């Protein structure tokens, strides 16, 4: 049976992905910092394996992934690094501690999960890592500076490991959506101009479907949504100054 281990699984995109893969016959493992909603989701899915863990705690992740391996027969078909946090606001209005926490969870957390899961991935034919990237990893977004920085890092890590881990037969990719209707986005008290102009049209279920498609694909980056796909591909062909102009226009006051 195919299996998937999801970080940040208790709500939003992680929870939607867990429901979709479970409903399509995959064995699901859940990781999240928040034990109560994690337990609720695990019960909803028939008592699937779960562990409450902070992705910034490297040793705790090693222990948790090792426990998952004991119930999965030492295999991991798909690691979905979905855990992440977001904060909208001007750079100077956000404390340095909050900026650092964004980087710690969104970047270090992904590296910790990849490092912990590698032994299981190496022992699984067709294994894959899927990282939660973002449209903000294409060009830096004003009032999302540290989040954009974290997603540029995820993009770079994805591209490097996609090449490096070919020797192990492990595919590595990321999803790159624009704004998604999740509790994390809904909880923000600041609305960047780019969000106001582009709106929030994608749902967590849309991203889960993209994760499902990527699980069958060899693509490295998966831009999501018609508008962002057009921006992404134009960005691969046009001079960087064009992307800068577009972002400046979208972010004008």
Identify the structural domains of the chain with CATH numbers, from first to last: 3-190+200-229 (3.40.50.720)
Interatomic CA distance for residues 181 and 202, integer angstroms? 6
Judge if pTM exceeds 0.85. yes
pLDDT of residue 201: 86
Instruction: Give pLDDT < 70 ranges for the chain.
Output: 227-231, 234-238, 245
For residue 235, the model assigns a pLDDT of: 65
The alpha-carbon radius of gyration of the chain (Å, integer) is 18
Catalytic center residues: 147
Q: What pLDDT score does 56 carry?
A: 98
The pLDDT of residue 196 is 81
Q: What is the DSSP letter of 114?
A: H
Residue 172: predicted pLDDT? 98
- Pairing assessment for the beta strands 128-132 and 171-176 based on DSSP bridges: parallel
pLDDT at 236: 67
Would you say how long the chain is, in residues?
Answer: 253
**C-alpha to C-alpha distances, 22 to 39, 73, 174, 224, nearest whole angstrom:** 15, 18, 21, 22
Report long-range pairs for 84-90 (Cβ below 8 Å, ≥24 apart): 84/8, 84/109, 84/132, 84/150, 85/184, 86/144, 86/147, 86/184, 86/185, 86/188, 87/146, 87/147, 87/188, 88/143, 88/144, 88/188, 88/189, 88/190, 88/191, 88/192, 88/195, 89/143, 89/190, 90/143
Q: What is the pLDDT of residue 227?
A: 67
Q: Is 122 helix (H, G, I), strand (E, B) or coil?
A: helix
d(CA 146, CA 105) in angstroms, rounded, equals: 12
Q: Are strands 78-81 and 49-52 parallel, antiparallel or unpaired?
A: unpaired
């Amino acid at each position: 049976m195919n299996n998937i281990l999801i970080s940040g699984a208790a709500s939003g995109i992680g929870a939607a992905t867990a429901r979709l893969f479970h409903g399509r016959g995959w064995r699901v493992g859940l990781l999240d910092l928040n034990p109560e909603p994690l337990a609720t989701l695990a019960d909803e899915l028939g008592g699937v394996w779960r562990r409450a863990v902070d992705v910034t705690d490297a040793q705790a992740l090693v222990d948790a992934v090792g426990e998952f391996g004991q119930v999965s027969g030492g295999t991991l078909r798909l690691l979905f690094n979905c855990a992440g946090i977001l904060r909208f606001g001007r750079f100077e209005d956000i404390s340095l501690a909050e900026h650092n926490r964004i980087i710690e969870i969104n970047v270090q957390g992904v590296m910790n999960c990849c490092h912990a899961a590698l032994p299981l991935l190496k022992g699984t034919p067709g294994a894959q890592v899927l990282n939660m990237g973002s449209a903000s990893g294409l060009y830096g977004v004003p009032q999302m500076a540290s989040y954009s920085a974290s997603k540029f890092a995820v993009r770079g890590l994805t591209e490097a490991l996609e090449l490096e881990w070919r020797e192990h037969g492990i595919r590595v990719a990321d999803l790159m959506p624009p704004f998604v209707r999740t509790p994390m986005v809904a909880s923000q008290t600041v609305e960047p101009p780019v969000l106001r102009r582009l709106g929030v049209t994608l749902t967590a279920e849309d991203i889960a479907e993209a994760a499902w498609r990527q699980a069958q694909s060899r693509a490295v980056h998966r831009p999501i949504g018609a508008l962002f796909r057009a921006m992404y591909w134009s960005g691969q062909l046009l001079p960087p100054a064009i992307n800068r102009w577009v972002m400046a226009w979208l972010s004008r006051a």
